[in-house]
Amino acid sequence: MLPGALYMQLHEATRIYINDPKSNVLKPGTKRNYACELGKLPQDQEVDTITEKQLIDACLAVNVKGQRKGLRPADGTIYSRRKVYEAFFKYAMFMNWVKKDPALYLSRHVGAGRGQTIKKNNWLTHDEVTKILEAVDMDDIYGPRDNIFLRLGFTIGLRVSEIRTLRWSQVNFDRREISLVGKGDKIAVVSITKNTYGYLMDLYGQAALALGRPPKDEVVVPRIKQRGDYDPITGTWKHARIWEVNYLGEPLSNTACGRICMKYTKKTDIKFAPHDMRRTFAGLMFEKVDIYQLKEALRHTDVSTTEKYLQTRPDGAAQAVRDAGLDF
């Protein structure tokens, strides 16, 4: 707590906030974004005199052209701005820079934006997940990769960014665990389900055979680039050299992750997007654990985030999970 903190000017408060490890504003890009959004407020104004009305105006601000047309920022933009102001003034309360949090009820006035609602069809049942996994053709060149991509989301609840960037060095087969690096470089360890463990072992063996050595820093879920002669009659590749290209390549892009989900949406008529895998994991797990245990499984810092995953979960929709668990 700082002496005379109630007279802190915004430009100085911003500098302290984005450079304090306790604020969780750690990445250079995040620091720039926070400085940019906070920079839209009067910099010489004392933090304690900033009003809710100023924050509302900042969240809904558009350029001159947008003002003339009466436009409103995209929901994602409003959401990002709101989260910056909420985080900053929560920190300001802790530091005794403000007597009252002007961002406390900001979402009531500008809308919750991107995180406000979750569509019902984004929550899949146990049977739907089983149908999707059974649609994977393990004899197809993409099958083993797609299978692991889906299982890491549906059975372990990894974030899409974690699946994309997961390296073999993070997988501990002896302990049947995956190590993940979270905010603040904190290490989180998640358990691998029995069936997913078996498929991971198979994929590991394929990678080792192709590379001529045990994979380590290569991505677990790689891009697949066909190499060989394409036969337009059969629609297959002859003499394709796949793994040596994949495992030395870069991770999947976000677009590629979406295409994988679209591929199995077309195969099964079950609509889902990449993040719906983690959301489904949350919904199915909640049939077996309480919300605080689920918070730990999802590695959320606040239980309110966990509640968002469950707010449209259909009553009684996951009957098949009762005894079977999530080991599809």
Domain positions in the chain are: 5-115, 120-324
Share of the chain above pLDDT 70, in %: 77
Task: Show Cβ contacts of residue 190 under 8 Å, excluding neighbours closer than 6 positions.
Answer: 156, 157, 158, 177, 178, 180, 297, 299
Would residue 176 be called left, alpha or beta, if left means φ above 0 and alpha means ψ between -120 and 50 degrees?
Answer: left
Residue 179 confidence (pLDDT): 92
pTM: 0.58
The CATH code belonging to domain 5-115 is: 1.10.150.130
Domain 120-324: give its CATH code. Answer: 1.10.443.10
* Mean pLDDT taken over the chain: 80
CB atoms within 10 A of CB 108: 10
Mean pLDDT for the stretch of residues 240-245: 43
Do the domains at 5-115 and 120-324 have one common CATH topology?
Answer: no
Phi and psi, residue 222, nearest 5°: -95, 170
Least confident piece of the model among 63-67, 271-275, 301-305: 63-67
